[in-house]
Structure 1
Amino acid sequence: MKKSELGKAIYETSNIKGEFALRSGQVATEYFDKYLFEADPKLLAAVAEHMVGSLPEQYDQLAGLEMGGIPIATALSLKTGSKSLFVRKEAKEYGTCKIAEGGDIEGSRLVIIEDVVTSGGAILDAVKELRARGALVNHVYCVIDREGSGRANLEAAGLTFTPLFTKSELESYCAP
């Protein structure tokens, strides 16, 4: 599937109109319901196919953020053969008390995988927790950059930010 075809399919599948409160506290009149494209095996496979070529040359593990980044990281893991981690919003208070499930993170070069980025707040929270536990985190990849303050916030934290699509790009694929 061509990137433009994938972009159009993602937009048509997941863009919904209404009034939505975002994690950042902002209210949006449109929303990308990422689970609608992540639950479609053809779209998820195509997302991974297009993202795989832009991953950094050297890293140890993919780190999918709860919850939307996990299917994307898993799909990328299947394409690359790289191990993936599942990063919680906060460490469990029972059992192993881990922030990241699936392997050790201390000294590991992680690539953060997320679905949609607006302000980058959830990513910054996760990076802080992962780094505090010894992970090396420099790269963030997402499917959709809503073109909010996310890029600026992530880059200000020393992270390289690579979206597969921007909101504007998705809209351009569906323009009449």
Structure 2
Amino acid sequence: MKETDVKKLLLDTGAILEGHFLLTSGLHSPLYVEKFQVLQYPEHTARLCAALADRFRSEQVELVIGPVTGGIILAHEVGKNLGTRAIFTERENGKMALRRGFVINPGERVLIVEDIVTTGGSVQEVIDVVRTLGGNPVGVGMLVDRSGGKADFGIPAKSLLQLDVPTYRPEECPLCRTGVALTKRGSRKL
């Protein structure tokens, strides 16, 4: 899939929203990508994940991991395409961790997948879990990189769609200054 195909699919399913949004990172933004608007369609999810898997096929991936919630779906589908196991991390006492009996074998080549990346904080937490448990992170696959390519994980990172979307600290947000109502979306409490 080309970037233009991915963007059209997100627009057609209503996944790209405009307004004034409070992001998981605490930043404000005029654009939000509601990934579940596209992920609710298994055929779209399968196409997107096959394209993501293709970008890492030469990396000899042995395990795919993603953070809960959207990362579960992506890890499963990408893992299916690569013929690997697929697991996920969850927050435990506010910190990303493996639960449910999941293990990462020492030296195992691990691909981290994530739905939407703005600052890359959750991805970095997953990379830290992988390394702490002896895994070898070989790449980061993203559905949408909304950092404009600024998120750097120190390992190869590839996205299906790259957006350069402005984000603002609350005290510097022009949307707040003009009185545009703030909408909080997403699943993580700040």
How many residue pairs align between the two structures? 160
Kindly provide the amino acid, as one letter, of the partner of residue 10 in structure 1.
Answer: L
Instruction: Point out 4+ residue stretches in structure 1 off by more than 4 angstroms.
Output: none
Q: Secondary structure at the match of 2:105?
A: coil
- The separation in 1 between residues aligned to 2:146 and 2:113, in whole angstroms, is 15
The equivalent of 2:156 in structure 1 is: 160
Q: CA deviation at 1:134?
A: 1.7
Q: Map 1:32-111 onto structure 2 (within 5 A).
A: 32-55=33-56, 56-90=58-92, 99-101=98-100, 103-107=102-106, 108-111=108-111
The match for 1:172 is: none
- 2:21 aligns with 20
In 2, the alpha carbon distance for the partners of 1:3 and 1:132 equals: 34
2-structure distance, mates of 1:28, 1:45? 29
TM-score normalised over the length of structure 1: 0.79
Structure 2 unmatched runs, 5+: 165-190
Partner residue, 2:32: 31
After superposition, the C-alpha distances for 1:47-101 in whole angstroms (9 at most, x for unaligned) are 01211211143121000211111111111222222110112133799xxxx6255
TM-score, normalised relative to structure 2 = 0.74
| Matched-pair contact (CA < 8 Å) for 2:104–2:135 | yes
Closer, same or farther: CA 91–159 of 1 in aligned 2, 3 Å = farther
**Where does residue 186 of structure 2 map in the other structure?**
none
List alignment gaps of at least 5 residues for structure 1: 169-176
Amino acid at match of 1:115: D
What is the Cα deviation at residue 111 of structure 1?
0.4
In the alignment, the residues of structure 2 paired with residue 57 and residue 118 of structure 1 have an alpha-carbon distance, to the nearest angstrom, of 25
Query: Percentage identity across aligned positions?
Result: 26
Report which of the two has the higher share of helix.
Answer: 1
- 153 and 50 in structure 1: CA distance in 2 versus 1, 3 angstrom threshold: closer
